[in-house]
């Protein structure tokens, strides 16, 4: 499946023939650091290779449209309930620099003791199923090709079906997964023994599948009442899961600690969070660090959340990380909306680039006071571990030692109490019979197969990890609750060219308006809702409110449903040029020695777009027989005309992306004026192109045509042939 930047994802193509889909690769992909990399006018210290296709940060236009990529993997976490909507969101996130995509599971899948199949709709997250994984991995294969970088797909092994989920992920090429038995026990009340026995099996499978494991310590931060006091426990939970993971055979390279800076302003964040962040990196040197952002102290204010997340990212840069995960700034108010996933990714991308080379500029002040803080959190953690060793892990759990909001060894007595013999799945751990034989080669513990050193599954004709042909693919189980039924309306509306606004699900019609109302908060809020109703928004709901002054007024964000579909074809805008059949274009062009000169003009370093129009690789005009000469970037307009004369060209293509102060219009007018001065205007077709260029504007500046964002080589070739054959 191949994606084209000017075409939306074709979900029918995604869903076609999933039965025979096989992942192209397995295992986790890190970004490769490129030392002292020049990107545009700058040399960077902490970057990796640029993308083939991407959306640069908004301010990139000032620097020639550059889009440097940091050297850490960036995560976005998607939660919707319909995987088919997540796929588009993943593509958007990848274009903004995310290469680790996590999709929250539907409520409580941890309690499902088995694999789900088909594509039922989820609540707050998707049911993880083989079909959902295949459709997603197949899409991400195509997205990888489109952006030019591997994309890590992430899911969750925790829960009663842990070992089965791990085998499913290893079979289907999932690249990362949460696995932490403490998560089951503490946060999902799944039986202790079941959780740890399953975890050994699951970790072994993850290890053999090259799947990066994230632990679950971040949940203690999200659950604790006074999160800055739970730092000793975070170290303890990391230690327990890391030790267990190593014992189960996971190499350190696949053990990622999920670390969250515990606090947020108005708390004195860095003073509280940095000593812990340093202690963590010192205690666990050698494993990977997956830095997450704080959700514990997150309200509905997206700006406030973003500032906290910038500070979290600063802590990552001041210490170290391998993955910078992001929390959407609206996670405190609703299921993340896709443009807030993108906002979260951009916060991390922007912050990390802004901090490029930070360690050359500042270092942590490691004076005695700071060292003492680092040591203290370590000492508290070691004491906690010693107490667990002394009383036994089961007793510690039964005594509610975990997620107590006291600052260990102080205790508040409000920890999570679990009965080691209780919980979901209690009494389901069965002693393995002496002749036990594992169903797949990856297995922790005794196995009657493979005792002679041969591949275990050789004894029974192969396993699903070694022979994918043995995988049983179940397509759908429910004739109603499946993706095909869900797609009927969205695809029908898309085919009819109908457009609806959306925030998380295709066609949900939800919009959000921001209103300031000059009154006391209660009056202002009532007015805001009423005003939204008058705008035609159904079911208006305030999702964020900020008092600017108790008497002067408050500002609100109000979401509501705009039940309206627009027909794209009827939208005002420049008429779409008719496209000539490709064979006709080629027949005309190849029979003549048609020469075109092109350049990116002014102080503009853009080349990707014009290259797409010229190069044969992306369907550029070369493919029809045009002979193209690209003069490069930052070319004076005069040079373009000189080259046109040298080449006896029939057309000049001027590429301009930078538009501040109308510089793009100046270039077009100058080209037209110079061509007239030199008496060649009538002979030459002058064409301008760029993301901000419109046909009307280009022609108003003396061009014969203008092409904007998403233009294809065929459109330009079609225009050129159309004009040339009329001569
Ligand atoms: C260790 C672990 N296992 C499973 C799940 C999910 O499993 P359920 O099906 O039980 O919700 C989670 C949830 N949090 C992950 C997202 C978080 N915001 C993150 O950034 O990591 C988890 O932490």
CATH number of residue 561's parent domain: 3.30.30.60
ipTM above 0.95, yes or no: yes
- Measured from CB, residues less than 6 Å from any atom of ligand 1 are 77, 105, 109-110, 156, 158-159, 178, 180, 183, 188, 216, 218-219, 258, 292, 325
Domains of the chain: total:
3
Longest dimension (CA), the chain: 94
Q: How far is the CA of 91 from the centre of ligand 1 (A)?
A: 22
Report CA(653)–ligand 1 centroid distance (Å). 52
Last residue of a domain, one of 309, 332, 354: 354
CA of residue 445 to ligand 1 center, whole Å: 27
Decide the pairing of beta strands 152-156 and 100-103.
parallel
User: Based on the domain organization, do 207 and 321 belong to the same domain?
Assistant: yes
3-state secondary structure 518-562: CCCHHHHHHHHHHHHHHCCCEEEEEEEEEEEECCCEEEEEEEEEC
In tens, the pLDDT along 428-475 reads 999 999 999 999 999 999 999 999 999 999 999 999 999 999 999 999
Tokens 């090709």 belong to 145
Contacts of 248 by beta carbon, 8 Å cutoff, 6+ apart: 199, 200, 203, 204, 207, 444
Cα torsion angle, 525, 528, 530, 536, sign: negative
Residue 721 falls inside a structural domain? yes
Residue 37 is assigned to a structural domain of this protein:
yes
Measured CA to CA in angstroms, residue 250 lies from 72, 175, 246, 372 at distances of 22, 14, 5, 33
**Structural domain range at position 545:** 509-568
Going across the sheet that includes 685-689, the strands are 627-630, 595-600, 651-655, 685-689, 705-707
Q: In the structure encoding, which two tokens stand for residue 354, read together?
A: 């802004």
Last residue within a domain, chosen from 324, 354, 384: 354
378 in any annotated domain: no
Question: Are 560 and 679 within one domain?
Answer: no
> Is residue 519 located within the same domain as residue 646?
no
How far is 211 from 226, CA to CA, in rounded Å? 33
Q: Are residues 535 and 599 in the same domain?
A: no
Q: Are residues 46 and 182 in the same domain?
A: yes
- Any domain includes 460: no
**Domain shared by 46 and 176, yes or no:** yes
How many angstroms separate the alpha carbon of residue 214 from the centre of ligand 1? 9
Q: What is the CA radius of gyration of the chain?
A: 29
- The answer to whether 281 and 259 have CB atoms below 8 angstroms apart is no
Residue 665 gets the label, from left (phi > 0), alpha (psi -120 to 50) or beta, of alpha
What's the rounded Cα separation, in Å, for the pair 145 and 158?
31
The structure tokens listed for 72 are: 């850490």
Inter-residue contact 324 to 291 (CB < 8 Å): yes
- Looking at the structure, tell me whether residues 249 and 349 fall in a common domain: yes
Q: Distance from the CA of 220 to the center of ligand 1, in angstroms?
A: 12
Is the preceding omega at residue 281 within 30 degrees of 0, hence cis? no
Give the Cβ contact number of residue 479 at 10 Å.
9
Q: Could you tell me the CATH number of the domain that includes residue 679?
A: 3.40.50.280
The last residue of one of the domains, among 337, 354, 371, is: 354
176 and 309, same structural domain?
A: yes
CA distance 200 to 243: 11
Do 564 and 706 share a domain, yes or no? no
Q: Are 630 and 614 in contact (CB under 8 A)?
A: yes
Is residue 51 one of the residues assigned to a domain?
A: yes
Tell me how far the alpha carbon of residue 218 lies from the centroid of ligand 1, in angstroms.
Answer: 9
Ligand 1 atom nearest to CA at 214: 1
Closest CA to 50 of 34, 27, 29: 34
Distance 26 CA to ligand 1 centre (A): 22
Q: What number does the ligand 1 atom closest to the CA of 180 have?
A: 1
Tell me: do 674 and 539 sit in the same domain. no
Contact 155, 174 (CB under 8 A): yes
Q: Which helix (H) or strand (E) holds 481?
A: none
Q: Is residue 81 a part of any domain in this protein?
A: yes
Pocket test for ligand 1, best of 75, 98, 122, 178 (most atoms within 8 A of CB): 178
C-alpha to C-alpha distance for 90 and 723, rounded to whole angstroms: 41
Q: How far is the CA of 179 from the centre of ligand 1 (A)?
A: 9
Sign of CA dihedral 599, 604, 605, 611: negative
Q: For residue 209, what is the enclosing H or E element?
A: helix 192-209
Q: Are residues 518 and 637 in the same domain?
A: no
Distance 680 CA to ligand 1 centre (A): 66
Among 177, 216, 234, 260, the mutation site with the greatest number of ligand 1 atoms within 8 A of its Cβ is: 216
State the pTM of this model: 0.81
pLDDT averaged per 10 residues, the chain (length 727): 94 97 97 97 98 96 93 95 95 98 93 96 94 98 98 96 98 98 96 98 98 95 90 97 98 98 97 97 98 95 97 98 97 91 98 97 93 98 97 96 92 94 97 94 96 95 97 96 96 92 93 98 98 97 97 98 90 72 88 94 87 87 93 92 94 90 89 91 93 88 90 92 88
For residue 124, the CA-to-ligand 1 centroid distance in Å is 12
Domain at 83, CATH number: 3.20.20.440
Ligand 1 nearest atom to the CA of residue 179, by list position: 1
**Minimum-distance ligand 1 atom for the alpha carbon of 188:** 10
pLDDT in tens, 654-679: 999 888 888 888 999 999 999 989 98
Task: Please check whether residue 577 is in contact with residue 723, taking contact to mean a CB–CB distance below 8 angstroms.
Answer: no
pLDDT at 299: 94
Characterize the bridge pairing of strands 510-517 and 553-561.
antiparallel
Contact 323, 100 (CB under 8 A): yes
CB half-sphere exposure, 312, CA atoms < 13 A: 31
523 & 632 share domain: no
Which residue minimizes the CA distance to atom 22 of ligand 1?
216
Pocket probe mutation, ligand 1, options 183, 261, 328, 330, max atoms within 8 Å of Cβ: 183
Ligand 1 atom 20: the closest Cα is on which residue? 292
CA angle 275/279/284 to nearest 5° reads: 155
- Is residue 456 a part of any domain in this protein? no
The per-residue pLDDT for 19 is 97
Asked if omega into 25 is within 30° of 0 (cis), the reply is no
Is residue 361, in this structure, part of any structural domain at all? no
């Amino acid at each position: 499946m191949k994606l084209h930047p000017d075409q939306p994802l074709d979900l029918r193509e995604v869903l076609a023939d999933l039965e025979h889909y096989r992942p192209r690769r397995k295992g986790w992909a890190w970004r490769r650091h490129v030392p002292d990399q020049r990107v545009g006018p700058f040399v960077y210290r902490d970057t990796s290779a640029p993308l083939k296709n991407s959306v640069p940060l908004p301010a990139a236009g000032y620097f020639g449209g550059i889009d440097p990529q940091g050297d850490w993997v960036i995560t976005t976490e998607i939660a919707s309930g319909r995987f088919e909507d997540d796929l588009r969101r993943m593509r958007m996130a990848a274009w903004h620099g995310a290469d680790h995509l996590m999709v929250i599971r539907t409520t409580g899948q941890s309690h499902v003791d088995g694999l789900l199949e088909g594509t039922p709709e989820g609540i707050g997250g998707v049911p993880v199923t083989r079909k959902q994984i295949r459709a997603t991995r197949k899409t991400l294969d195509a997205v990888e090709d489109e952006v030019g970088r591997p994309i890590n797909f992430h899911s969750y092994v925790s829960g009663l079906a842990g070992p089965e989920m791990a085998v499913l992920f290893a079979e289907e090429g999932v690249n990362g997964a949460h696995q932490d038995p403490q998560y089951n026990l503490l946060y999902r009340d799944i039986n202790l023994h079941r959780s740890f026995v399953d975890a050994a099996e699951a970790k072994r499978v993850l290890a053999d599948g090259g799947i990066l494991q994230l632990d679950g310590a971040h949940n203690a931060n999200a659950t604790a009442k006074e999160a800055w006091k739970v730092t000793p426990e975070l170290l303890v939970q990391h230690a327990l899961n890391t030790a267990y993971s190593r014992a189960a055979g996971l190499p350190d390279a696949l053990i990622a600690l999920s670390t969250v800076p515990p606090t947020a302003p108005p708390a004195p964040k860095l003073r509280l969070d940095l000593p812990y962040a340093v202690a963590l990196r010192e205690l666990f040197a050698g494993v990977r660090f997956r830095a997450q952002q704080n959700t514990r102290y997150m309200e509905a204010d997206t700006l406030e959340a973003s500032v906290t997340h910038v500070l979290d990212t600063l802590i990552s840069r001041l210490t170290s990380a391998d993955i910078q995960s992001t929390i959407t700034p609206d996670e405190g108010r609703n299921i993340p909306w896709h443009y807030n996933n993108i906002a979260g990714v951009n916060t991390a991308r922007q912050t990390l680039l802004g901090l490029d080379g930070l360690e050359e500029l500042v270092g942590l002040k490691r004076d005695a006071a700071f060292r003492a803080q680092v040591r203290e959190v370590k000492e508290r953690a070691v004491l906690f571990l010693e107490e667990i060793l002394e009383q036994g892990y089961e007793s510690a759990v039964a005594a509610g030692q975990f997620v107590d909001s006291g600052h260990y060894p102080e205790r508040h007595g409000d920890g999570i109490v679990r009965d080691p013999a209780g919980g979901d799945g209690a009494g389901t751990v069965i002693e393995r019979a002496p002749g036990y034989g594992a169903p797949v080669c990856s297995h922790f513990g005794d196995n009657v197969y493979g005792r002679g050193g041969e591949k275990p599954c050789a004894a029974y004709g192969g396993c699903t990890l070694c022979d994918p042909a043995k995988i049983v693919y179940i397509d759908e189980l429910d004739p109603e609750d499946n993706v095909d039924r869900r797609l009927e309306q969205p695809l029908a509306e898309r085919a009819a060219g109908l457009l609806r606004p959306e925030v998380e699900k295709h066609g949900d019609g939800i919009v959000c308006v921001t209103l300031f109302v000059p009154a006391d908060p209660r009056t202002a809020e009532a007015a805001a809702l009423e005003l939204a109703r008058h705008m035609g928004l159904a079911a208006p709901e305030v999702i964020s409110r900020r008092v600017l002054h108790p008497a002067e007024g408050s500002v609100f964000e109000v979401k509501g449903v705009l039940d309206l579909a627009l027909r794209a074809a009827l939208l005002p805008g420049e008429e779409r040029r008719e496209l000539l059949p490709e064979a006709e274009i080629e027949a005309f062009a190849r029979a003549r020695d048609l020469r075109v000169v092109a350049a990116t003009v002014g102080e503009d370093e853009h080349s990707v777009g014009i290259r797409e129009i010229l190069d044969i690789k992306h369907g550029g005009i070369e493919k029809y027989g045009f002979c193209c000469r690209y003069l490069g970037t930052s070319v004076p307009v005069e040079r373009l005309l000189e080259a046109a004369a040298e080449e006896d060209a029939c057309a000049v293509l001027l590429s301009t992306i930078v538009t501040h102060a109308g510089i793009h219009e100046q270039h077009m007018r100058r080209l037209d004026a110079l061509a007239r001065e030199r008496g060649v205007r009538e002979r030459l077709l002058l064409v301008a192109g760029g993301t901000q260029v419109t046909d009307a504007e280009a022609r108003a500046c003396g061009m014969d045509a203008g092409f904007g964002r998403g233009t294809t080589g065929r459109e330009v070739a079609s225009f050129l042939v159309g004009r040339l054959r009329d001569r």
